[in-house]
Amino acid sequence: MKITYNLSNCSADIVSKNNMTRKEFLKICGLLGIIVPFNASCIARSLLNNISNKFEGKVTIIGAGAGGLSAGYLLDQLGIDFEILEASSNFGGRMKINTNFAEFPIPLGAEWIETKCEIFSEILNDESVHLDVKTIKDTPDYKFINSSWYNFYEIYIVPRILEKIVFNSVVKKIDYSEEKISILTSQGLKVADKVIVSVPLKILQVGDIEFIPDLSKKKQSVIKNAQIWDGFKAFFEFSNKFYDSGFEKIIENSNAGQKIFYDASFGQNSDNNIIGLFAVGSAVGKYNSLSKSQLKDVVLKELDMLFSNQATINYKKHLCHNWNKEPFIKGGYLSDYADWKDVRRLGESVENKVYFAGGEYTDGENWVSVHTAALSAKRAVDEIFNNTEYNKT
């Protein structure tokens, strides 16, 4: 029997008291049969039911990652005028993939589905869409089979909104002091009634976007003091499979960071033997400054130690991706150990004009991932459409 507890007020306290990540806490809830209230479905219903409050202005979304794309898609469903300003020349942000390295897409950022697979229809918010997403259980999460989060957005979300994305448009300033909001970009000035900020938190932390007037002192302080982990991934291909299928070896897991070696080809229809290296936070440290060939030597040495000297002799090729060096990302993501009250404040809207959506702007109960970015977009669009307020602390 499943028991429903109302955990929305107490869960974060339990998490911090036990030095447990929000992710671990939610997984334990799943094991115990405790259902954490899932606000997003209520939001989805209210989004489409309350047509009478329909907002009729223009929304500008900044950033075409999971948060920004989801927000655009939902605004499109509601018939609201919008555009997405994206600094780089592609959509997807931290869902980026490499398609040349292996027979399946290599996820340079988001890889696992860190929730139930019903999330796909929840993100699409449209029961008529025929979904064909193949996944495999990769305990405790799921993985895409020969696909990725990027491909999910590419197939189901982007075609509907592609013409609304303005690429190579770097936002530098958001002036919300007047009734209309002015947005200064590398391509000139834009005007909107509402703005959804969906850039990585690090972009705000380093001050790449100026707000006029300044954001509140409290919000500025949370942004400034947020611990944003570095982010790094590498993939090594080998001629022989000298490791167990689906292995995962946790090398480091602390409140300063995480490092894992794992079977990156697990569940894929492929003969490629690929080991992945996932590192965030302090675990990225030594990899940050290495050249590609230095990285090869360092990682092969580590793998030789784990696998009785089998790595170096079976090595074929490798690739790496350092998220700290991406000019419009500048890091990995907000620490899993961030205080829930701070996370909630990051997601709070400002003066019914500036809204936040993305992995780092959740309701406080969630950690940074693709699905939480999508759900935060639902919340932001609902706030705009229904003039509701979430996350007020």
Give the footprint of ligand FAD on this chain (CB under 6 A): 62-68, 85-88, 93-95, 109-112, 114, 170-171, 198-200, 203, 208-209, 231, 233, 323, 328-329, 332-333, 358-359, 368-371, 373
Query: What 3-state DSSP class applies to 203?
Result: helix
Q: Distance between CA atoms of 22 and 11, rounded to whole angstroms?
A: 8
Residue whose CB is less far from ligand FAD, 362 or 386: 362
Return the number of the residue (253 or 309) whose C-beta is nearest ligand FAD.
253
- CB-wise, 43 or 203, nearer to ligand FAD? 203
Give me the least distance between CB of 130 and ligand FAD, in Å please. Answer: 23
Residues 6+ apart with CB under 8 A from 96: 90, 107, 108, 109, 150, 321
**Shortest Å, Cβ 88 to ligand FAD:** 4
Q: How far is the CB of 109 from ligand FAD (least distance, A)?
A: 4
Q: How far is the CB of 218 from ligand FAD (least distance, A)?
A: 21
Q: In this structure, is the dihedral angle defined by the CA atoms of residues 158, 161, 166 and 172, taken in order, positive or negative?
A: negative
* Cα distances (Å, whole numbers) of residue 142 to 97, 118, 359: 17, 12, 18
Following CA atoms 48, 54, 56, 62 in sequence, which dihedral angle do they give, to the nearest 10 degrees? -50
**CA–CA distance, 246 with 372 (Å, rounded to integer):** 26
CB nearer to ligand FAD: give 150 or 307. Answer: 150
| Beta carbon of residue 369, minimum distance to ligand FAD (angstroms, whole number) | 3
Identify the helix (H) or strand (E) that includes residue 35.
strand 34-35
What CA–CA distance (Å, rounded) separates 221 from 207? 13
Number of C-beta neighbours around residue 60 at 10 A: 23
Please state, in angstroms and rounded to a whole number, the distance separating the CA atoms of residues 176 and 185: 15
Q: Give min distance, CB of 148 to ligand FAD, in A.
A: 10
Give the SS3 label for residue 152.
Answer: helix
Which CB atom, from 109 or from 311, has the smaller least distance to ligand FAD?
Answer: 109
Give CA–CA dist 123/157, Å, rounded: 9
Instruction: Report helix, strand or coil for 36.
Output: coil
Helix or strand (DSSP H, E) at 354: strand 354-356
**Smallest distance from the beta carbon of 79 to ligand FAD, in angstroms?**
23
Q: State the nearest-atom distance from the C-beta of 229 to ligand FAD, in Å.
A: 8
Nearer to ligand FAD, 119 or 307 (CB): 119
Nearer to ligand FAD, 109 or 257 (CB): 109
11 or 88: CB nearest ligand FAD: 88
For ligand FAD, give the closer residue by CB, 111 or 122.
Answer: 111
Min separation Cβ 239 and ligand FAD, Å: 27
Q: Mention every residue, 6+ apart, whose C-beta is less than 8 A from residue 379.
A: 39, 40, 43, 347, 357, 363, 390, 391
